[in-house]
Amino acid sequence: MLRGVPGGESRLRFTPLNYCTTVSVILLESNNCWSRKRSGPSSRKLALAIATQGFFISSTSSSSPFNSIRKKRPSRKLIGERLRSEMADHEQKAVTADVTSGDMSFQPILEDGVFRFDCSANDRNAAYPTLSFVNSKDRETPIMSNTAPLYIPTFECLFGKQIVKIELPSGTSFYGTGEASGQLERTGKRVFTWNTDAYGYGPGTTSLYQSHPWVLAVLPNGEALGVLADTTQRCEIDLRKDSRIQFVAPSLYPVMTFGPFSSPTAVLIALSHAIGPVYMPPKWALGYQQCRWSYDSDKRVLEVARTFREKGIPCDVIWMDIDYMDGFRCYTFDKDRFPNPKSLANDLHQNGFKAIWMLDPGIKHEEGYFVYDSGSKSDVWVQKADGSPFLGEVWPGPCVFPDFTQSKARSWWASLVKDFTSNGVDGIWNDMNEPAVFKAVTKTMPESNIHRGDDELGGCQNHSYYHNVYGMLMARSTYEGMKLANENKRPFVLTRAGFIGSQRYAATWTGDNISNWEHLHMSISMVLQLGLSGQPLSGPDIGGFGGNATPKLFGRWMGVGSMFPFCRGHSETGTIDHEPWSFGEECEEVCRLALKRRYHLLPHLYTLFYKAHTMGTPVAMPTFFADPKDPSLRKLENSFLLGPILVYASTMPGQGLDKLDCTLPKGIWLRFDFDDSHPDLPALYLQGGSIIPLGPPHQHVGESNPSDDLTLLVALDECGKAEGSLFEDDGDGYEFTKGGYLLTHYVAELQSSVVTVRVSKTEGLWKRPKRRLHVQLLLGGGAMLDTWGMDGEVLQIVMPSEQEVHKLVSTSEKHYKTCLESAKRIPDIEEVSGQKGVELLRTLIELNNGYWNLKVVPWIGGRIISMTHLPSGTQWLQSKFDVNGYEEYSGTEYRSAGCSEEYNVIECDLEHSGEVKSIMLEGDIGGGLVLQRKIYIPKNDPKVFRIESSIISHKVGAGSGGFSRLVCLRVHPMFTLLHPTESFVSFTSIDGSKHEVWPESGEQFYEGNLLPNGEWILIDKCVGLGLVNRFNVNEVFKCLIHWGTGTVNLELWSEDRPVSKQSPLTISHDYEVIGIP
């Protein structure tokens, strides 16, 4: 008999279990931590659970709630009023429950090192079904194990909330929490899992579009522990206290721990065994994808596709946003703008593009609309508490919403998707599926709405239970519909909302971000956090969704984004164009280089996804994964790993690759590129001991062929060894699951000054394609040795002497530096991004013809920040918004009045094409004076652009006799030197003397008879071009040449005197590019 316990005389069953390590005696009241309301009387019962070394003790009394560990499913008969009564009854009792607390009891599940924790055995029996686990039985079935959990969570149940805490060693770092903005290392942060339409979110936003109640803890010794709170309901993840994880969610839910294991990767592999790995994407889905809200017609779609091919910029997919629909009705097409979607898809397919179309959950409430009618007939809509269909306002107006918790609703949706794909649909984009609802304070449907869910999902519940999984279930339905349409093709689905486990059905993106540097920086951490939460197929809207990107921002973002697992550019309606060619030639070239990099790396990226799909390994990882024991790596946010590749990017506007100080993990890391190094592209490093496969940079995946040349990039480790693998299959379909693939393992080894590269092992039924093999052996500093042969043969590279290696490395480093210095940099332009529904008040003005492209910033000094000669592709001037570039001053002092004032546009002449050909600006410089500037391209001489500047008296006081203060019009352009050592200024003075002024001369003034006789030329000998600046010698009294770091100022100064209305100061001058023999 157990004294002091009612019913203690009942018989006890002792089941030997050798995994329990603690002794705890907990008195529980069955209604304290409510799990679900059962039919029948609710009697108060006390039970005793004793967990002791080697035993789990439970009562076998017929009245004990601990009789069975099997879950009692809710009856589907609990509907209508009875269901609402049950829910109300539960809510009232949950609030008035007593407090219970203690250590959680545990069972080993799934595999060694994975444990399930519950507040009690009673709670274990009563817990809701899991929607995160791929196989629900894995969570419910204990296994025999000799391991015990090192960290035991504690719990407290209070007023319907279950609070779980896990204390970990000091110095533990936290990651995960799914789709979360802000910092990479999550200590000090708090997240609420409640899927939310979060347009323009910031680093402090606590609820985004997806919910992952998961934390990855990296312990001070480099080992890692994963913790999953397996609840679909709103959950607070509180990491504000150092080394403590706290979950708070409605009672009751189990908690799973994974580990501690030897590494974070081992934890993620174990997690994938529970929630399932990422589905295997079709290979084309790893190419670049172009989207916009919206390409307004099929003609515009084809124009964008054609431009990609004409400009040689790789791309695989064009997306159709919501405006393709007829009045925003899903599964319809606008008859005027998209009259023949199948023909559009065929045209895209012929040019190597796939077509992806959006489908939202909101179905227009309209009789006669076939989707609404069939859904109503099948009774698939989410209901209000009174049992009638819920109506919510979204894009089409009043809408009903499919109840994806019901199998019949999922089948109904899947059948619609199946028919929809017959239009040539290659992929489907599920948006607005949090679900988002307009004109609602909560941005979603009421929590009191009713979902008549399947038993295995949790049965009939209100919306608060299913809210966080609504998007995942919609994605699942879409995925299943695409499989129905063609079982020989892999579906591609992109979902905005999701839950932990969504990776089984869909890719995701980081939602409606903003075009600014903060969001560029955050995008790296956000992609990594999703990967650390089981979703490796993700990426941001490259360039930012909301607001206007600047050329520098867009190019830098494309450089980083081209390395993300999912790579898509997207922008909202009302913004400027955000295609790769929309920001000038410099940015276009950076985008081209970035995307060619991606296509070079596609064999490696596809292999990473095969491993992620079959083994659960991550694709993109934080840098600290290379050395989890090194605490200095744990907060690095501008670098990440793609397998053994380290991508190091600059996310600061004023800091290019040439100014980036890279923190590398311990060991050997060898820099490499594709002869494409650029200050606005990330640096790439390969870890010693690694081999990665590379392919040709095709324009789209469909151009690739198994017989293409294969390149192996090799970096030896300290022992002179390396290994890597290449996965190949059809790129689509499921033959790879039946052996229809080739997985090749390559090894390299240095012995006696000879590096041998060979195949060590193969898997799969495919025969090796007959193709050439190019082996590139990295030496350091970007230097490499290479050899050619046939794939499958043994290839060898003879290592040169140490002195020769040093010389090769030195030469390569010099070449690399020269490439960075000579690269055509994207202008450092900063523009204010607009917010949704707000017109941009400050807009960059472009003057453009076939010879010149000028970019003018009126609101800061009226400065020219970019001056590009289009025929030669030479950018002679580039600057930030607020300093340098082409400036004008009203005094001899540097940056005197006129350089930073806000200028008004008083004239702006447009051609019929809409291009600006002439602009006049005026800035108030005080004392009744204005600085007026006209910039234009003469119609009779388009090779020239001209600037006419004046300091004019508007309101000079009568007491001064109508004359102003002493002023000087000082023209101050700062030109960029692409080749500083090969550049000089040449001119002939008024006295006939000839001058060549080189950078080493520093600063020089020329006046009087030494003044240039009406022109001087900035010559770049390397490119054979000269920038001629012509001026009126009667207006210019002094010329200044000042050489800076990679720049030169060619200044024109007027005389220094007062001005009146009758006697302004004026300088007229023009620029032209000429060839230099």
Active-site residue list: 431, 434, 512
The first and second tokens of residue 85, run together, are: 């009564």
Q: Find the helix or strand (DSSP H, E) in which 304 lies.
A: helix 298-311
The first and second tokens of residue 104, run together, are: 């959680």
Residue 894 has a CB neighbour count (10 Å cut-off) of 11
What is the C-alpha to C-alpha distance for residues 491 and 1054, in angstroms, rounded to an integer?
A: 69
Q: Find the helix or strand (DSSP H, E) in which 419 lies.
A: helix 407-420
What is the C-alpha to C-alpha distance for residues 888 and 886, in angstroms, rounded to an integer?
A: 7
Q: Which of 585, 652, 580 is nearest to 825 (CA)?
A: 585
What is the C-alpha to C-alpha distance for residues 1001 and 1033, in angstroms, rounded to an integer?
A: 24
Q: What are phi and psi of 975, to 5 degrees?
A: -90, 150
Q: Are 1050 and 849 in contact (CB under 8 A)?
A: no
Beta strands 354-359 and 427-430 are: parallel
Q: Quick check: helix, strand or coil at residue 671? A: strand
What is the C-alpha to C-alpha distance for residues 833 and 547, in angstroms, rounded to an integer?
A: 5
CA distances in angstroms from 772 to 101, 694, 699, 795, listed in the order given: 67, 12, 21, 11
Strand partners, 164: 155, 247
CA distances in angstroms from 410 to 131, 402, 479, 913, listed in the order given: 15, 8, 10, 50
Residue 374 has a CB neighbour count (10 Å cut-off) of 14
Q: Where are the beta strands (DSSP E) in 143-281?
A: 154-158, 161-167, 173-176, 190-193, 210-211, 214-218, 224-229, 235-238, 244-250, 255-261
Strand partners, 16: 55
The first and second tokens of residue 774, run together, are: 């190019």
Write the single-letter amino acid at 112.
D
What is the C-alpha to C-alpha distance for residues 274 and 501, in angstroms, rounded to an integer?
A: 9
End-to-end CA distance of the chain: 108
Residue 607 has a CB neighbour count (10 Å cut-off) of 20
Q: Are 1027 and 1002 in contact (CB under 8 A)?
A: no
What is the C-alpha to C-alpha distance for residues 366 and 819, in angstroms, rounded to an integer?
A: 61
The first and second tokens of residue 1075, run together, are: 């060839």
What is the C-alpha to C-alpha distance for residues 419 and 785, in angstroms, rounded to an integer?
A: 54
Q: Find the helix or strand (DSSP H, E) in which 921 lies.
A: strand 916-926
Cβ within 8 Å of residue 308, ≥6 positions away: 290, 314, 315, 699
The first and second tokens of residue 979, run together, are: 């080749």
- What are the CB-based long-range contacts (under 8 Å, 24+) for 670-676? 670/715, 670/778, 670/779, 670/780, 671/780, 671/781, 671/782, 671/816, 672/713, 672/778, 672/782, 672/784, 673/782, 673/816, 674/596, 674/597, 674/600, 675/819, 676/593, 676/596, 676/597
The first and second tokens of residue 233, run together, are: 């309901």
Q: Please tell me what DSSP assigns to residue 631.
A: G
What is the C-alpha to C-alpha distance for residues 123 and 105, in angstroms, rounded to an integer?
A: 10
Sign of CA dihedral 362, 368, 369, 375: positive
The first and second tokens of residue 295, run together, are: 């390409």
Cβ within 8 Å of residue 241, ≥6 positions away: none
Using only the alpha carbons of the chain, give its radius of gyration: 34
Beta strands 363-364 and 450-452 are: unpaired
